[in-house]
Amino acid sequence: MTMVIKLQEKEGIKIARLAELSRFTLSITEEIKNELKPLLSIPKTKLILDLEDITFIDSSGIGCIISLVKTAKSNDSTFKICCLNKDVATVFDLLHLQMILDIYPDVEAGIQSFRE
């Protein structure tokens, strides 16, 4: 499966949007890690992962996100997530991921959090 990660930058913050897919599963985790880990390996990188189009996430997707969090922390970078669909937000809540992730309702709120 070919996936599109649309990268843009606003106010020095990289915004990665998973576009043209709705499922964050094993079939795409390697591609996501290959694309985003190098960015987070650069110290002081600020990255927001926009999951607006994602309606389903499995354990592989969760593992991928946790791997990105670890990469960011070990390189003094910052990784945030935004735009969770209701079903994906329920999974995050059940797993208490809000304890290790910075989650925002939309991209603008994520950007605003870097200003504070």
Domain boundaries, the chain: 4-115
pLDDT computed for residue 3 by the predictor:
59
**Which CATH code for domain 4-115?**
3.30.750.24
Question: Of the candidates 21, 34, 1, 14, which has an alpha carbon nearest to the alpha carbon of residue 82?
Answer: 14
Burial state string for 59-76 with b = 16 or more CB within 10 A and e = fewer than 16: eebbebbebbbebbeebe
- Residue 101 per-residue DSSP state: S
Could you report the average pLDDT of every consecutive run of 10 residues in the chain (116 residues)?
Answer: 80 94 93 96 98 96 98 98 97 96 98 95
Strand partners, 60: none
- Greatest alpha-carbon pair distance for the chain in Å reads 39
